Amino acid sequence: MIAKHIKLDLRDAMEATLRRIARAAWCKDCNEIVELLTVAEASALAETNPPTLLLWMLTERVHCLDSQGRLLICASSLRRNEAVTGELARQSV
């Protein structure tokens, strides 16, 4: 019985790891491999709404990538708080 639960836990962990690997890509702005998020996931992470996040992308406050017609956002740029601190806006002035 315990072995069955261990198998399921291991399977869940492996699936989560494979999902992260599949959603990783090189961000030229960060100069590293980063996790890519959908607009909805990035909005939840940044605690904002999708239109605001799209505005941040247009003003280059967060890094984004067009992958096969899907807009993906660099999670590292969100985690560094570039979007919420306004650091990039002050630098461009």
Bridge-based pairing of strands 64-67 and 70-74 is: antiparallel
Q: Is the pLDDT of residue 71 over 70?
A: yes
The CB-side HSE value for 86 (13 A sphere, CA atoms) comes to 2
Q: Would you kindly state where each structural domain of the chain is located, as residue ranges?
A: 25-92
How many angstroms separate the most distant Cα atoms in the chain?
A: 63
Q: Is the pLDDT of residue 88 over 60?
A: no
Against a cut of 0.85, is the pTM above it?
A: no
pLDDT of residue 1: 55
Strands (E), the chain: 24-27, 32-37, 64-67, 70-74
